[in-house]
Structures are given as structure tokens and as C-alpha cells.
Amino acid sequence: EPEVTQTPSHQVTQMGQEVILRCVPISNHLYFYWYRQILGQKVEFLVSFYNNEISEKSEIFDDQFSVERPDGSNFTLKIRSTKLEDSAMYFCASSETRTGKTNYGYTFGSGTRLTVV
């Protein structure tokens, strides 16, 4: 079964450092997303990406965040200067359709646990 792959599974970084979280979406999917879950809280939308540009972003996704699809397979989330409150699980997701309103929804990766110290 096709899957979304995320690396690394766990990243520890010092406050103020830049981090790049990597994702390989399912190959025939065209729509890509980042979500995050702070410990004990709900999964929150960060950004959606299609056709090499951001489709929608939440208020969490400020100037410290950026996304890129540097080649035909990777989809990255960069946090320029990490803060303690950026510590969370970050999930990448992809979808074949824009809306995800299908019998299989969005497919999520296993996540990257980001710990900012």
C-alpha cells in the first residue's frame, strides 16, 4: 500500500536554529499538507500546497515557516528560527484530490517529533 514517508522520525534542535522536516508524498498525489500536534492537543492544520505554491495557510504558519517541493518527490517544511513552542509532532499528508472528500481521505505520514531545547 502506498505511504507517505517522513524523515527524520525525531529531531532535537536548539532554540533559534533552523530545521527542515522532510516528506515524500504518495507519487500520484498532487496536494500536500503539513499538520502538527502539540502534546496533549488536537491535530492542527498548518499549510496546504499545490502546483508549487501555497494554497492555504493557518495563522500558525507565520514568516518563520516555509514549504518547498525542491524536486519531483520531496516536500519540505522549514522552520527558520525555532522556538520552544514549536515542539510538536509534525505530520505530512497528501491527497489525490483537492478536497480529500474521497473514500480514502488524506494519507498521513508517521510524523516527525520535533523537540526544541
Task: Report in angstroms how near the CB of residue 17 gets to another protein at its nearest.
Answer: 24
Position 107 contacts another protein (CB under 8 A): yes
Is residue 65 close enough to count as binding another protein by CB under 8 A?
A: no
Residue from 43, 64, 74, 76 touching another protein (CB under 8 A): that is: 43
Nearby residues of 38 by Cβ (< 8 Å), 6 or more positions away: 44, 85, 87, 88
Q: What is the dihedral of CA 20, 25, 70, 76, to 10 degrees?
A: -20
* CA–CA distance, 53 with 4 (Å, rounded to integer): 20
Q: Does 99 contact another protein by CB under 8 A?
A: yes
Decide if residue 49 touches another protein (CB under 8 A).
Answer: no
Cell of 101: 472528500
**Closest separation between CB of residue 63 and another protein, Å?**
20
Structure letter (DSSP) for residue 103? S
The Cα 24–Cα 7 span in angstroms is 9
One residue of 79, 91, 94, 116 binding another protein per CB under 8 A: 91
Contacts with another protein by CB under 8 A lie at 4, 6, 9, 33, 35, 41-45, 48, 55-56, 58, 91, 93, 98-111, 113
